Amino acid sequence: MYIYADESGHSGRHIFNDPLFYFQGAIISEIDTEPILTEVAEKYKEELGLPRLHANEIRPHIVERIAASFLCLLDDIKWVFHITAIEKPYLAITKFVDSLFDSYENKGTRWLWYNHELFRHTLCILFNDILFDEDKKTFWTAYLQDDFGGIASVVKIALQRINAIRIDKRLHQVAIEGLNFALKYPEEITLLANQTKKSYKGHTPNMVAFSSLIQAVHKFCKENNTKPEAFVHDSQSEFGSTMKEYHDLFGKARLEHDSSGLALQSDRVEYDFGTFSLSLSKQSVSLQAVDILLWLYQRTDKIKSIGLNEKLLDVAEPFYISRISSEIITRGWLYKLSNCDLTEEQIAKGEKTVEQMETIHLERLREFEEQQAPKGTKAKMLTSC
């Protein structure tokens, strides 16, 4: 299989700059798409008098014609158009929750609230609502500098605002206790964005999307019993070397949710992850096709060609990180849970399991605080109720 990837809305560390969304698009195909697309691409380049097909340099109705031609040529092969779309400011919120509510570091956080996507996204929505733009910017700057003092200032603001609003009692308890633990034991919270000059890159939309693409490749491999031959990304200076490192280091790690959705499971694939390379788009018609399709995907509401919108969406596999996607995930889980036909026995068993998990959590927290307390003093539990 072959992968050709490009991006739109480049941001790097500057997640609060326009445009609001960062997009990465990729053709993932069972066979190489270069020979399939070359003849038509050359025809359009000659017709338009351009050295390459770049959507921003072509009139919209011509972009639609080119896209329709590409999609028609790819009809007879197995392929997907993977898209990662990231609402850039929202990335700060996901990092806020991920760094402060990691239950393996923060003993004040319940395991379920960090590892189950329903609860994790519930926390993301809460903090996105109560933290203002200036708070998010303060956190992001401090996060990239491994400055816990700056992070703590935002945590204190969050605590004040949570206590000033009416929310679900359990959500209030989980949020308060998690934040208080982070403030009391900052040494337990791992910050690695400023460890080296390049460390920040792994936290940017660019590399978060690239990690998503790696998992999309594994999904395609599994579904089509194939393996990567070549992985080509549009050439760029800031993230090229980091992408190659990620490809080489993490290419064999496949992540999947277990059947319950409780946690991600990781396994190491046996197949080689192919050769990674950077290429100028003018040297690859497949990269030009990605540019055309990605540009069009961002404007599906404006497509005029009959059937093109449907055809594009049919091959698209989008993955979103945004406030709206968090809401969709939480609502989906609530709908699923509300429609579960549980017996009284199952409900009782669930309540018992939750009670056992809470007991284990409190015992773990108590043991930790007793270890931290000075000799001869009694540890004061952080629990809020």
Q: Where are the domains of the chain?
A: 2-88+198-327
User: How far, in Å, CA of 273 to CA of 217, rounded?
Assistant: 9
Right CATH number for 2-88+198-327 from 3.30.365, 1.10.3470, 3.80.10, 3.30.420?
3.30.420
User: Which DSSP string do the residues of 157-190 spell out, in sequence order?
Assistant: HHHHHHHTS---HHHHHHHHHHHHHHHH-GGGS-
Rg (CA), the chain: 24
User: Which DSSP string do the residues of 195-256 spell out, in sequence order?
Assistant: SSTTGGGGGSHHHHHHHHHHHHHHHHHHHHT---SEEEEE--TTTHHHHHHHHHHHTTEEEE
User: How far, in Å, CA of 383 to CA of 385, rounded?
Assistant: 6
Instruction: Please state, in angstroms and as integers, the Cα–Cα distance from residue 156 to each residue in 107, 164, 292, following that order.
Output: 18, 13, 46
Question: Is 0.85 topped by the overall pTM?
Answer: yes
pLDDT at 258: 67
User: How far, in Å, CA of 286 to CA of 281, rounded?
Assistant: 8
Listed in sequence order, the residues at least 6 apart from 113 whose beta carbon sits closer than 8 Å to its beta carbon are 101, 103, 119, 120, 123, 174, 178
Rounded to a whole number of angstroms, the distance between the first and last alpha carbons of the chain is 55
Strand order of the β-sheet with 79-87 is 275-279, 230-234, 2-8, 21-29, 79-87, 316-321
CB 368 within 8 A of CB 382: no
CB 71 within 8 A of CB 292: no
Other Cβ atoms within 10 Å of 326 Cβ, number: 23
Could you say which DSSP state residue 374 is in? P
Q: Indicate the residue type of 22.
A: Y
CA dihedral sign of residues 137, 143, 146, 151: positive
Q: Return per-residue pLDDT of the chain as tens, 385 residues.
A: 999 999 998 779 999 999 999 999 999 999 999 999 999 999 999 999 999 999 999 999 999 999 999 999 999 999 999 999 999 999 999 999 999 999 999 999 999 999 999 999 999 999 999 999 999 999 999 999 999 999 999 999 999 999 999 999 999 999 999 999 999 999 999 999 999 989 999 999 999 999 999 999 999 999 999 999 999 999 987 899 999 999 998 898 998 876 655 566 788 898 888 999 999 999 999 999 999 999 999 998 888 888 999 999 999 999 999 999 999 999 999 999 888 888 999 989 989 999 999 999 999 999 999 998 876 666 566 665 4
Q: Indicate the residue type of 99.
A: S
pLDDT at 4: 98
Burial of 144 (0-12, 13-18, 19+ CB in 10 A): buried
